[in-house]
Amino acid sequence: QVHLVESGGGSVQAGGSLRLSCAASGDVDRTHCMGWFRRVSGKEREGIAVIGKDGRATYADSVKGRFTISEDKSKNIVYLQMDTLKPEDTAMYYCAADTNGGNCVAVDLFFGYWGQGTQVTVSS
């Protein structure tokens, strides 16, 4: 089992920045990749960014160039640095872990472990 806890959410004006953190514990060594997702009420969950064990990261077009995913392996913490935030970035953000192997892609069904979520609100 992998336990994930997000933090760092809050309210910010458009153009501002936030850094989300995801602390992982448990069977972390079996994790294939880590990801960040977000969801707005009434809409499907959207994959934002993923990072594999090799450190390679991929991003959704909606956040590419503005968000950066990184990992401090020594502390088992995954970060999502969010810059130039827009009102449409407002959502509940979730950290997720994949232990199934294969390609690391931001598809929610591929991730078996999830944090509780942290709210991000961007005002204009």
Instruction: Give the pLDDT confidence score for residue 40 in this predicted structure.
Output: 94
* pLDDT mean over 4-25: 98
**Is residue 30 very low, low, confident or very high in pLDDT (cuts 50, 70, 90)?**
confident
> At which residue do the structure tokens 């090799």 appear?
54
Query: pLDDT per residue over 45-99, tens digit each?
Result: 999 999 998 899 999 999 999 999 999 999 999 999 999 999 999 999 999 999 8
Percent of the chain residues past pLDDT 70, beyond the cut:
100
Distance CA 13, CA 29 (A): 38
Length of the chain: 124
Q: What is the mean pLDDT of the chain?
A: 94
Instruction: Give the pLDDT confidence score for residue 32 in this predicted structure.
Output: 86
Q: Is pLDDT at 35 greater than 90 in this prediction?
A: yes
Instruction: Give the pLDDT confidence score for residue 101 in this predicted structure.
Output: 73
Q: Is pLDDT at 102 greater than 80 in this prediction?
A: no
Distance CA 95, CA 23 (A): 9
Instruction: Give the pLDDT confidence score for residue 11 in this predicted structure.
Output: 98
